[in-house]
Amino acid sequence: MAANPVHAAVEDQLLARFAAIVGARNVLTGEAEQAPYLTEWRGYYRGRTPAVLRPGSVEEIAAILRLANETGTPIVPQGGNTGLVGGQIPDESGREVVLSLDRLERIRAIDAEGGTITAEAGVVLERLQEAAAEAGMLFPLSLGAQGSCRIGGNISTNAGGTAVLAYGNTRSLVLGLEVVLPTGEIWNGLRGLVKDNSGYDLKQLFIGAEGTLGVVTAAVLKLFPRPRGQAVAFAAVPDAAAALKLFRHARDAAGSGLTAFELMPRFLIELLRDHLPGARDPLDNPHPWYVLMEISSGRGDADARELLESALSAGLESGTVRDATIAASLDQAKLFWRMRHAVSEIQKHAGGSIKHDVSVAVEKVPSFIEKGSAAVSALIPSVIPVPFGHLGDGNIHFNFTQPSGMDRKAFMSRAPEVHAAMTDVVVEFGGSIAAEHGIGRYKRELLKSVKSEVELEMMRKIKRAFDPHNILNPGRVI
């Protein structure tokens, strides 16, 4: 171990004590075995660590945190390592120990009657969706990384995704939590109650706290009846304002049955057509903007399709919809969704991309897109604005792709200016600089610049009260 200079920072003795807790084979110190835990998939964050700990139980996690708290050892909890803001990657100091939840992957209970599932933090989201489906129920959380992200991470980041419109963020899917506190105490808050006003609603503190206040080890989550029918369509619209009008038509037609409403500019359709196997241009002619919309029905497919057709007809009549195609089969519906979920990854084929995960009030989305695009185009002429995402939630992934021909590095070096310009626009619109991906390390300084001192101080007070030695995910969020 002495051969690796990283270990200099943490005494071998300390590692031995961690090994005594989790077993030597669950303490990863070799470069190759550590690698998957130290690099973010896009390559934006890369860190060093004396050890990756892979505990197998809640009690082991409690013992790890007790020891860390006693010795002042910084701990970085990690789920599926799909976070986009550097929250789950250790820093460059080589001091931060990674605590992986990937061995806690048991589904402890599933209760279709009662509509709950109790899962450990390391359960991969897709497996949770499948377990719910096998029980005849729906776990609605759905996002691009669902094949590898883990539910503990989803909870700790209050993940959003494409089903928020009808089912809410992860926060609204959580009924109860089990959490190990920074001091090593275990809080059993695994309740499955819809209504419980018995004291402060402590679970809310840990949801979205990005692992800075405690390590979520298990959760009771809500299941929903599976919709009996669904219909999915791509609709072409001339601009974002028309997309917003279509959103209203769809909501009018389907109410809470409108389960997804995703905006995409033409640029993404072309990238998908060219780079995603099986993808194709959904409509005969090109259009500047597309909406992927899904309507669910408790009555059946025919009913869902009827509602979807009625929303699209209203749109065609009022001139907001230029063309549309309803998925003719389940396979086609799956393809449409595969296209949507591939959107984040596909952008790498177009070179550098400066990204923003922001939100504004829904009705402000069109003017926000206009203002944001103009602000950045003024900095970098012929930049390609790529705003897309959850229009129905006001959550736009406001990315900017480099002008073709521009040097990637030169473009990416403009990121700070672009971020500053976008932050100004977000603040002007009363929006959020971090809609669904969180703060992590990426937006920590930015957070300080947009939040009031009163708010920052409240956050610090909570952090100090729960984690007096600042051992849990230090340098993230607050």
Binding positions for its own copies, 141-160, rule CB under 8 A: 157-158, 160
Q: Residue 387 interacts with its own copies (CB under 8 A)? A: no
Nearest Cα to Cα of residue 90 among 40, 56, 41: 40
Q: Which two tokens stand for residue 138?
A: 């729906």
**Rounded to an integer, what distance in angstroms lies between the CA atom of residue 111 and that of residue 89?**
35
| Helix, strand, coil percentages for the chain (3-state, nearest 5) | 40, 20, 40
Q: Residue 235 interacts with its own copies (CB under 8 A)? A: no
Among 70, 317, 407, 455, which residue sits at the site for its own copies (rule: CB under 8 A)?
A: 455
Strand-strand pairing, 75-78 and 97-100: parallel
* Structure-derived torsion over alpha carbons of residues 338, 343, 345, 349, reported in degrees to the nearest 10: 120
Tell me if 196 sits within 8 A of 449, measured CB to CB: no
Rg from Cα positions in the chain:
23
The smaller minimum CB distance to its own copies, of residues 192 and 288, is found at 192
Q: Residue 430 interacts with its own copies (CB under 8 A)? A: yes
Mask: binding to its own copies, 115-134, rule CB under 8 A, as x and -?
A: xx------------------
Among 295, 443, 471, 474, which residue sits at the site for its own copies (rule: CB under 8 A)?
A: 443
DSSP 184-218: SPEEEE----S---SS--THHHHTTSTTSS-EEEE
Please give the residues from 80 up to 99 whose contact with its own copies meets the rule CB under 8 A: none
Q: Residue 107 interacts with its own copies (CB under 8 A)? A: no
Among 2, 5, 13, 113, which residue sits at the site for its own copies (rule: CB under 8 A)?
A: 113
Tell me if 132 sits within 8 A of 151, measured CB to CB: no
Please give the residues from 392 up to 411 whose contact with its own copies meets the rule CB under 8 A: 393-395
Q: Residue 432 interacts with its own copies (CB under 8 A)? A: yes
Nearest Cα to Cα of residue 356 among 369, 367, 346, 366: 369
What backbone torsions phi and psi does residue 104 show, to the nearest 5 degrees?
A: -90, 75
Tell me if 41 sits within 8 A of 55, measured CB to CB: no
Q: Residue 194 interacts with its own copies (CB under 8 A)? A: yes
Q: Which stretch binds its own copies (CB under 8 A): 143-151, 197-205, 316-324, 367-375?
A: 197-205
Q: Residue 177 interacts with its own copies (CB under 8 A)? A: no
Q: Residue 445 interacts with its own copies (CB under 8 A)? A: no
Q: How far is the CB of 380 from its own copies (least distance, A)?
A: 26
Q: Residue 256 interacts with its own copies (CB under 8 A)? A: yes
Q: Residue 199 interacts with its own copies (CB under 8 A)? A: yes
The smaller minimum CB distance to its own copies, of residues 243 and 380, is found at 243
Q: Which two tokens stand for residue 146?
A: 């669902």
Q: Residue 318 interacts with its own copies (CB under 8 A)? A: no
The smaller minimum CB distance to its own copies, of residues 220 and 232, is found at 220
Among 127, 251, 322, 469, which residue sits at the site for its own copies (rule: CB under 8 A)?
A: 251
**Rounded to an integer, what distance in angstroms lies between the CA atom of residue 208 and that of residue 170?**
9
The smaller minimum CB distance to its own copies, of residues 209 and 335, is found at 209
The smaller minimum CB distance to its own copies, of residues 49 and 162, is found at 162
H-assigned helices in 115-202? 125-134, 151-156, 164-167
Q: Which stretch binds its own copies (CB under 8 A): 27-35, 110-118, 133-141, 284-292?
A: 110-118
The smaller minimum CB distance to its own copies, of residues 257 and 282, is found at 257
Q: How far is the CB of 470 from its own copies (least distance, A)?
A: 15
